Structure 1
Amino acid sequence: MNLFEVYSLWNIEPVKAEGCKLWDKNGTEYLDFYGGHAVISIGHSHPEYVKAIERQVENLGFYSNSVQNLLQKKVAEKLGELSGYSDYSLFLCNSGAEANENALKLASFHTGRKRVVAMKKAFHGRTSGAVAVTDDPSIQSPFNTGHEVTFVALNDAEGIENELAKGDVAAVIIEGIQGVAGIFVPDTEFLQCVQAACEKYGSVLILDEIQSGYGRTGKFFAHQFAGIRPDLITTAKGMGNGFPIGGVLISPKFEAKKGMLGTTFGGNHLACSAAIAVLDTMKKESLMKNAEEMGRYLQSELSTCSGIKEIRGCGLMIGVEMKPEYAGVRDKLLFESHIFTGSSKNNVIRLLPPLSVSKKEIDILIHEFKKHTS
C-alpha cells in the first residue's frame, strides 16, 4: 500500500530534535523557526515533557471517557489559572479543527440558529464545519458547501453589525491572528465592536486561538490585548507541544448536557500528561514573557533587513511579506542556511519558533536572512 500523496514534501527527514534545533537522517543540523506549524511551544524534546509522557505510558496510556480521569481536571485547573479563564469550563478533543467543530456546534445548540459569520481569508480547519467557515474554495468539497456561512472582511465592524442585526446568526468566528492568510492582526476596536454586537443580537463570539494562543503573542491568547472575553475559545497546536490535543474554553453562560459533545481519544491520559507538562514549563520558565521580549527583538532586527515589504504580527507570530524579487528567500533559508520557516499567501514568510527561542538563535536567523537579501 502507498501513501495518499496530498502533501508537497521537502526531501528532508528530521530524526532528532532538541530545543529550537532539528537534525535530519544525514546528521545535518537545522534551526527551527516554524515549530511544525506553531505546534512546538516549549521546545523540542523538553526533558520534563519527555519524563511526563514516559511516566504516564508506563502506568496507563489510554482509557475511554466513560471513566474518571483526574488528569483532565488538572489540565483544566492549570489552563484556567495561566490563561485567566478559571471561571470557564473545558472540553478536550484532539485537534484544532475538532475544537472549532465543537465550538460551532455549541453555538448552534445555545442559540437555536444555523448561520455563521466568518472572516474573509480565514482558516479554521479541514473537517466539515471548520472548512465551511474557511475562506478557501479549493479545499471545500460539495459536501462542505451546504452550511449557511457569510464571509465579512477582517476589521469590517459595520459589516458584522449588519449581518448580526438580521437576527439569525448563531456565531461569529474570528482568529486571534489570521495565520494562514499571512499574519493579519485584528484591530482592538474591531474585536470590541464584534463582542458588543454579539451581546446585542444574541450571537456567540468564537475566538479561534489555535495558532495564536498558548503564549505565542506574549499574552496567553492574542485576543486578550483587546480586553475582551469571548463566549468560546478554541485551542490546540502549542497545547501538547507535538502530542495531539485540542480544547474549547466555554463561558459559564453555556449549559452542559449529557451526550451533547463527545470524543473517543480526546483528553486521553497521554495527551493530558503532555498538556500538563507544557503548562508547568510555560509557567516555570516564563515562556510568555520570553515570547513577548524575543518577538519584540526579532521584529526590531528584521526591520534592519532589505527585501521586506512589510512586517506584521505580535510576539513570536510574525509574518514577513517579501518584495516580489525576493520570492525565493524562504527556500534559500531552508536549503542553504538550514533554517525552517513557514510560508503563506502573498509571498509571506511565517516565523513561529518555539517560545523558548533565544537572542543567539534570532541573531543567526537575521544573519542568514541578510545574506540572502543583500
Structure 2
Amino acid sequence: MADLFNVYPLYDIEPVRAQGSYLWDANGTRYLDLYGGHAVISVGHTHPRYVRALTDQLNKISFYSNSVQIPQQQELADKLGELSGHPDYALFLCNSGAEANENALKLASFHNGRTEVVAFTKAFHGRTAGAVAATDNLAIVAPVNYNKHVKFLPYNDVAAAVAGITDQTCAVIIESIQGVGGIQVASDEFLRAIRKRCDETGAVLILDEVQCGYGRAGKFFAYQFSGIEADIISMAKGMGNGFPIGGILISPKFKASYGLLGTTFGGNHLACTAGIAVLDIMKEEGLIENAVRVGDYLLDGIRQIGGYKELRGRGLIIGIEYEFPVDSLRKTLLFDHKQFTGVAGKHTIRLLPSLALGTDEADLFLEALRKEVSVLS
C-alpha cells in the first residue's frame, strides 16, 4: 500500500456516519462536532434537503465545463447576492479558498497594474503560490513562494495600516476575523481606516471571508459589522457544506474580459447545486440568526466558567486562549467527552460548529469545559 505524504490528522478518529452536529465512528460511538471540518459544515451534516438536492442533480448531470451554459451558476449568484446584501456584485466561482484568494489578487493587479500586496501578521490565506506569499506562517512558505512584493503589517494597528498602504499598493488582503491566527477580530476602527486608505491610494481591498464569512459571525460576512464595503470578497468553506466550492464576489468597479479569470471545475453543476441548497437552508431555517443566539449563549457560558486568558470571537467562530498549551485539553474533550474541537496555535481552543448548533448541544460543551477547566486550575 502506498504511504500518504505528510498527513498529520488532528483527530485519531475515523468518522463513518454523520447527522446534524454529530459524527459516529466505526464502533458506533457518537461525537459532538464543534469544529465542522474547519468551518465547512455550515448547515449540519447530511441535511435532508441538501442530500436530496445533490442526489437529484447527480441523476441528471454532475459536470460539464464552463464552455456551456450552466443555469445553476446564475441561480447561485442571484441567491447569494440577495442573502449577502450584494446584488450588484459579480460572482466568479472556483474550488477553494486558496483559489479564491489567488483570483482576487490577480484581479486586483490587472485592475491597477501594481504589484505590492499588504497582508497582516498571523494571516492565513491558503496554500497556493500567491495565497501562501500573503500568509504569515514560515512553516508553509517555501522559497518558491517568497514574494518580495508582499509586506506584513501588524493586525489591528490603525497607524501602521495608514502608513503602510501607499500609492504603490496593489491590494490589501485581510481576514475580518483571523481563524488560524487565533480568532483575532478586526476592530471596526481598523477596517474603516483601511477602507479609507485604500480609497485614498487606489489600492484594492480584498476581504478574506473564507472561514469567518457565510453567516458564521452573525452577519453574512463578518466585515459587515464595520459598515464598510469590500472591493472583492473571497469565500469557500461554508459555501458547499462539504462539497468543494469557492468564489469571489466582485465590485461593479471591475470589468470582466474574456480569459481574465478561468477554471475547469469551478461552478460545476453539483457544486452550484450544493451552494444553492446551503443558501436556501440558511434562509429558511434562520441560521445566521441562530449563529448569533447560540454564539452569544456559548460566549456567556464560557465567561461564567472563566479560567482563560482571553475569549475572542463573534457568533459561532470562537477562540478560547489559555495560559497553558491546549493540546491535552482538546484530547480530553475528544476522548473523555466525545467532542471535536479545534486549535489555533498552542494555546487557543477553536470552535467552528454548524450554524444549526442548538443550545442543548452548547450545554454539553459547557458542561465538559467546566469540568476540565476546574481540574486544570
- SS of 1:256 mapped into structure 2: coil
- SS of 1:139 mapped into structure 2: coil
Matched to 1:116, the amino acid is V
TM-score (norm 1): 0.98
Which residue of structure 1 aligns with residue 187 of structure 2? 187
Which residue of structure 2 aligns with residue 87 of structure 1? 88
2-side partners of 1:161 and 1:228: how far apart? 16
Return the offset for 1:325: 7.1
Which residue of structure 2 aligns with residue 25 of structure 1? 26
Which residue of structure 2 aligns with residue 4 of structure 1? 5
Which residue of structure 2 aligns with residue 202 of structure 1? 202
1-side partners of 2:137 and 2:81: how far apart? 33
1-side partners of 2:156 and 2:327: how far apart? 28
Which residue of structure 2 aligns with residue 274 of structure 1? 274
Contact between 2:326 and 2:346, CA under 8 Å: does it hold in 1? no
- SS of 2:370 mapped into structure 1: helix
Which residue of structure 2 aligns with residue 322 of structure 1? 322
Matched to 1:250, the amino acid is I
Matched to 2:285, the amino acid is E
* Compared CA separation, residues 355 and 150, structure 1 to 2 (3 A): same
- Cα shift readout 1:319-342 (whole Å, capped 9, x = no counterpart): 001231765211100111110000
2-side partners of 1:5 and 1:181: how far apart? 22
1-side partners of 2:10 and 2:213: how far apart? 27
Q: State which drifts further: 42-51 or 328-337.
A: 328-337
1:69-88 residue pairs with structure 2 within 5 A?
Answer: 69-88=70-89
- SS of 2:31 mapped into structure 1: strand
1-side partners of 2:325 and 2:275: how far apart? 42
Q: State which drifts further: 84-93 or 2-11.
A: 2-11
1-side partners of 2:335 and 2:259: how far apart? 50
- SS of 1:328 mapped into structure 2: helix
Contact between 1:326 and 1:373, CA under 8 Å: does it hold in 2? no
Matched to 1:45, the amino acid is T
- SS of 1:27 mapped into structure 2: coil
Return the offset for 1:2: 2.2
What's the Cα RMSD here? 1.1
* Structure 2, gaps ≥5 residues long: none
Which residue of structure 2 aligns with residue 283 of structure 1? 283
TM-score (norm 2): 0.97
Which residue of structure 2 aligns with residue 252 of structure 1? 252
Contact between 1:213 and 1:222, CA under 8 Å: does it hold in 2? yes
- Cα shift readout 1:273-298 (whole Å, capped 9, x = no counterpart): 00000000000000000000100000
Pair 1:235-2:244 in alignment: no
1:1-374 residue pairs with structure 2 within 5 A?
Answer: 1-165=2-166, 167-324=167-324, 328-374=328-374
* Structure 1, gaps ≥5 residues long: none
Over 3 Å off, 4+ runs: none
Return the offset for 1:163: 2.2
* Compared CA separation, residues 332 and 257, structure 1 to 2 (3 A): same
How many percent of aligned residue pairs carry the same amino acid? 57
Matched to 2:313, the amino acid is G
- SS of 1:6 mapped into structure 2: coil
Return the offset for 1:253: 0.2
1-side partners of 2:190 and 2:245: how far apart? 30
2-side partners of 1:131 and 1:147: how far apart? 13
1-side partners of 2:22 and 2:149: how far apart? 44
- SS of 2:59 mapped into structure 1: helix
The number of equivalent residue pairs is 373
- SS of 2:321 mapped into structure 1: strand
Contact between 2:326 and 2:348, CA under 8 Å: does it hold in 1? no
Return the offset for 1:346: 4.2
